[in-house]
Each structure stands twice: as C-alpha cells, then as structure tokens.
Amino acid sequence: MLSNRQIADSFDLLADLLRLKDSAGYRFEVIAYQRVAEALRELPRDVRAIAAEGRLQEIDGVGKAIASKITELLDGGTMRLLEDLKAEIPQGVVDVLRVNGVGPKKAMLFYQQRGITSIAALEAAAREGKLRDLPSMGAKSEQKILEGIEALARRTTRARADVALSAAERLLRPLQTVQGVLRAEIAGSLRRGRATIGDVDLLIASHDAAPIMEAFVNHPDVVRVLGHGETKSSVELHNGLQCDLRVVPPDRFGTALSYFTGSQAHNIRLRELALQRGLSLNEWSFSATDGSGAEFLCATEEEVYARLELPYIPPELREDRGEIEAAQANALPTLLEIGDIRADLHMHTTWSDGRLSVREMAWQARERGLQYIVITDHSQSLGVANGLSVERLWAQREEIQSVQAEFGDALRIYQGVEMEIRADGSLDYEDEVLAALDVVIASLHTALRQDRATITARLLNAINNPHVDIIGHPRGQLIPDREPADLDMDAVFAAALATDTVLEINANPHRLDLDSAHARQALKLGIKLAVNTDAHSAADFDVLPFGVRTARRAWASPEQVINTWSRERFEAWRQDAD
Ligand code: DGT
Ligand code: CA
Ligand code: CA
Ligand code: ZN
C-alpha cells in the first residue's frame, strides 16, 4: 500500500523524467506534477481516505487528469505513463539531476555520451577528467560537479532530531543497566539541540568498558558494526543512522562530555583559553604545558568551565557565536526552559484535521500543566484539511464556550484560527471575522515555491493586517527534504517588528521553523516569539522540547516568548493587538 510520501515521490519522479525527456516541451506538466508532489507531502490525511470520499480534486493542484493518476497509483502501485518513461530513461539519470549545477540537458548528455546512470559514476568520470571534452564542459565544470556531489552528500545524510533522539534513547536504555555504568549521556549535535543530526554521539562513565561495548554492538537496532574498540565503538542502525559510543572513567567524564558535545568551533575556543592559562585541553584532561606533567581531571563540565574561569555554558549555545564572550562578561542569557511554557497557542481539533475534539485537546493541555490554549483550526480555503467556513467557525465557538464552562478557571480556552494566506496573497476571512477571533495565526501552506518578491509580498500582506497576531511556521521548511520558501526575511522582520506580530517557532521536529538562526536574528531586533506544538493529536504535545531547544539555540529568554506569559499579560497583549 503506497503512502502519501511514496505517491508524492512518484509524481516527483514523473516530473524529473519528463524534464529529462524534453524540459521545454513539458514545462507545464513538470510544474503541475511537482506541485502535486508537494501538496501530497504536506497532506495531513491519508490520500487513500480522501480518494475514498471522492475528494481528490480538492487537493491543491489536483485536477481530473492528476486525480486519475493518483487513483491508478492507489489501485495498482504504479502508473502507465511513469512505467513508459522509466523504460525510456534509466532512473539513475534522475539521481544525477540532484547534483547542484546539473540540469536535464547535462544529465542526458552524460547519459548518452558517457553512459552515466548514477552519482557514483558521475563522480568517477569527473575525477578522471572524462567530462571536460563534452560540449560546453571543461575542467572547471568538472570541479563544480564534484563540489555539487559533496554538498549533496552533506544535505542528505543528516537525520531529523526526533529520529536521532529516539534512536539514542533506545540504544542507551539497555546500556544504562550494565553493571558499573555511572552516567550515560547523549553528546554531539543532538545534545546541542540542532534540528538535524549527522551522527549520534553517546558517552558513558564506567571503569569497565568491555561489557558496555559488547552490549552496544549487539543491540537489536544495530545492522552493522563499523568499529569495535576497547573504549570506543561505532555502529550503523536500521534507519541508516550512525552512532558512536565512548566509555571514559568517571573522573574524566567532564572533559570527555565537553569535548564530544562540541561544537568543534566551541572546543577550539576552549582550547585557546586553556593555552592562555598554560594548559592543554583535550577529551581526556587538562595538562600543564610547562613540562611538569601536571594533569587536572574534571568529572563534570562545570569543572571544565571553572578552570577556564567561565560560568557553565548550556550546550545549545556552544557554537562559537558569542557565547564565550558573553560568558566572560557574565552576560549569558537566562535561557527559556520547558517549565516556563504556560500555554500553547497553535493546535488543531476534529473541526479541521486534528484527531481529538476541543474537549479532549483541553484535557490533554490541562494534564500537561498548561494554563491557557488557543484552538487554531484551519481556515476555509484549505479544503483538504477540512478548513472551517465562517459558519462552522461560529459553531465551533459555541462548542469552545461550553467546554470552557466545564473547565472554569483550570484552563482558559481561546478561539483562534490558523488562517491560510492564499496563493494570491489575500487572506482567507474578512476582517470582521478576524476581529471576532481571540487570536489569528496566519500561515503559508500552498504555492511555497513562488519567487521571492511574490511570496514575500504575500507574507507581508498577512503581517500588516491588524488582526493577524502570529505568523505560523514562517519559512515553510520541512526537514529534511523541503527547503524554506524564498522569503526576504529582512522585510519580514521589519514588518513583524513594526506591527508587533509574533513569529512562531513551530516545535514539530519536521518543521522547527523559525530555525534557530532566524529566531535569534528576530529576537535581536526585538521581535517576540511563540513556541507552539501545532498539535494534531495528544502525542503531538510531546514535540514541545524540540521547539524549546530551538529557542534556546536562538538565545531566547522566557520574557521574549509570549506563551510563557501569565494569562493576564497575554490578554492585555491581545487587546493591544486588536
Ligand atoms: P554532527 O554529527 O555532524 O551533527 O555534529 P557533531 O557536532 O555531533 O559532530 P561529530 O559527531 O563529528 O563530533 C562530535 C563532537 O566531537 C563535535 O561536536 C566536537 C568533537 N570533535 C570531533 N572532531 C573534532 C575535532 O577534530 N576537533 C575538535 N576540536 N573537536 C572535535
Ligand atoms: Ca554527531
Ligand atoms: Ca560522531
Ligand atoms: Zn497548524
């Protein structure tokens, strides 16, 4: 049975094969298929269910012809047109297209003239200088191709943070019970809270490494052992993720954890500071550079920083982006913590594409200790997500009011909406509808590949509407495969600041949008953020830590994140905003 993702992949493949066959001749088809692929990936419901309801054509970009192709795929697992094209052009040529700088013409040239049907073959040919004699090629373009292949490898081998975290936790669980294990921690980029992870780094404190190494390489999730040493092993997991484990004696755990948490840039700065103090620092210890042989061990990271006369620096800040200087000046920010979050301002219910009713979501929120929530179902033009007509919006209001009555002071439930910013830039409800809602989130879900001027103008139109309070997942990225929209973020920030519009950090690990770099820039300018789960189910509430870590990487303090505010302050802000 094909998943939405696989059907989307089929349309992308179809588009790529048509580009290869005749990129000019099929340009409209190519755009149409790519658009459908994107819509299908974004689709919150199983496309099979939508097909069963006879509503395929409500999906963005789906007309009669494409609907019948989807049906073909659902029924038979493939489609005729795709099979015909696959017989004409080897699929490996499509892979070659993924290399930056290689368009359809070049890919076909390499295929027809040099028989290249894979990235590996392309790399070999470029290295051996076998492409430079082809029309409009040269030594320089071979170099470009090699660079493109490197960049591609960097892009595609990183895992999403949630995937890496659950892999790390599954690996650590049985190791924690091995005799002699005193501490077991996640290090590396995962500990620093990055949105994507190259490999998982684990660190264990114990005097006896052998049984830990043994348990690690024999873990059921492991498919391949890449290295099995006395205190260090590397494995590959079922999902392709790599994981390194090191075991160190407990009295050296601090230097080791600091070293393997990184980042490399942060470590380099720490080493420089150590050298200024006549010490060399590595994962093992500090040692005197005067030849005295003196060694200083650190069991904790606090001791590492203390020896460098620094306060403890939280892992999320360790990127050499000013944290060393801030620490030296005793000016590290008071970072947002998960316990500071009092509210969730973005969630869906069965009124649109959520799994739970308003009442059930309210229970979930209350159980998690939230003090207020905003119900933000999709607006009318997002048909595939069952967006709310104005009439249904008012019906929902009644339901919210009755649930509110049940909860009383225990939880305040506001009515909001996640309003579509339509492809032409117009908003999905009239101003008087927006004015009647407690909170308006405006989001881009469609036509995300518009050119910079068009899509920026679209978002600015929403920001500048006085009723819009928050912009949901502003850049529209999906991790790992969808690049953010081509927005002029300077213009977006300027408008958000001028209008006191809050920008969201969507905590879902597929999004983490704003990303930490843009969020930090926004905060520097004085823009406020909201860290929201965008929950569609009970389990979705649990993505919050990913959003909080992203905010911490942006140096966010609780004050700057509006859903840490008391109900009273939040209400006052809302009223100002209207
Ligand atoms: P990743 O895996 O690409 O998401 O990023 P990291 O930061 O986890 O990098 P990784 O796994 O290569 O190494 C883990 C940490 O070990 C890294 O953050 C810093 C430290 N480290 C590794 N190699 C070096 C190095 O050559 N020099 C220094 N100073 N530190 C290193
Ligand atoms: Ca790593
Ligand atoms: Ca590593
Ligand atoms: Zn949403």
pLDDT in tens, the chain (578 residues): 677 778 988 999 999 999 999 988 998 899 899 889 878 876 667 788 889 999 999 888 899 999 999 999 999 988 999 999 999 999 899 999 988 779 899 999 999 999 999 999 999 999 999 999 999 899 999 998 998 888 777 666 688 999 999 999 999 999 999 999 999 999 999 999 999 999 999 999 999 999 999 999 999 989 889 889 999 999 988 877 899 999 999 999 999 999 999 999 999 999 999 999 999 999 999 999 999 999 999 999 999 999 999 999 999 999 999 999 999 999 999 999 999 999 999 999 999 999 999 999 999 999 999 999 999 999 999 988 899 999 999 999 999 999 999 999 999 999 999 999 999 999 999 999 999 999 999 999 999 989 999 999 999 999 999 999 999 999 999 998 788 898 999 999 999 999 999 999 999 999 999 999 999 999 999 999 999 999 999 999 999 999 999 999 999 999 999 999 999 999 999 887 65
Residue 199 Cα: closest atom of ligand 1: 2
> Is there a contact between 529 and 519 (Cβ–Cβ < 8 Å)?
yes
What CA–CA distances, in Å, run from 339 to 236, 282, 404?
A: 35, 34, 24
Estimate to the nearest angstrom the gap between the alpha carbon of 456 and the chain centroid: 21
Estimate to the nearest angstrom the gap between the alpha carbon of 492 and the chain centroid: 20
Q: What residue has token string 């009442």?
A: 359
Residue 282 Cβ inside 6 Å of ligand 1? The answer reads: no
E strand intervals along 310-395: 343-344, 372-378
Q: Which residues fall within 8 angstroms of residue 51, CB to CB, at 6 or more apart?
A: 70, 71, 74
Ligand nearest to the CA of 261: 1
d(CA 447, CA 361): 30
Phi, psi values for residue 418, rounded to 5°: -100, 100
Q: How far is the CA of 236 from the centre of ligand 3 (A)?
A: 12
Q: How far is the CA of 156 from the centre of ligand 2 (A)?
A: 15
Residue 267 Cβ inside 6 Å of ligand 1? The answer reads: yes
Q: How far is the CA of 181 from the centre of ligand 2 (A)?
A: 22
Best substitution site from 189, 241, 301 to test ligand 1's pocket, by max atoms within 8 Å of Cβ?
189
Q: Which two tokens stand for residue 361?
A: 């979501």
Pairing of strands 183-186, 200-205: antiparallel
Pairing of strands 343-344, 372-378: parallel
Q: Which residues fall within 8 angstroms of residue 187, CB to CB, at 6 or more apart?
A: 201, 202, 203, 257, 260, 261, 262
Residue 266 Cα: closest atom of ligand 1: 29
> Is there a contact between 197 and 158 (Cβ–Cβ < 8 Å)?
yes
> Is there a contact between 263 and 320 (Cβ–Cβ < 8 Å)?
yes
**DSSP code, position 347:** B
d(CA 378, CA 357): 14
> Is there a contact between 429 and 380 (Cβ–Cβ < 8 Å)?
yes
Residue nearest to atom 27 of ligand 1 (CA): 264
Residue 319 Cβ inside 6 Å of ligand 1? The answer reads: no
Q: Where are the domains of the chain?
A: 4-154, 159-248, 254-328, 338-577
Q: What is Dmax (Cα atoms) for the chain? A: 81
Fold of 159-248: Beta Polymerase; domain 2 (3.30.460)
Q: Which two tokens stand for residue 53?
A: 């309801």
Q: 4-154 — its CATH code?
A: 1.10.150.110
What CA–CA distances, in Å, run from 550 to 341, 530, 553?
A: 14, 12, 5
- Name the CATH superfamily, with its identifier, for domain 338-577: Metal-dependent hydrolases (3.20.20.140)
pTM: 0.78
Residue 188 Cβ inside 6 Å of ligand 1? The answer reads: yes
Residue 268 Cβ inside 6 Å of ligand 1? The answer reads: yes
> What Rg do the C-alpha atoms of the chain give, in angstroms?
27
The architecture of the domain spanning 254-328 is: 2-Layer Sandwich (3.30)
Residue 164 Cβ inside 6 Å of ligand 1? The answer reads: no
Residue nearest to atom 17 of ligand 1 (CA): 262
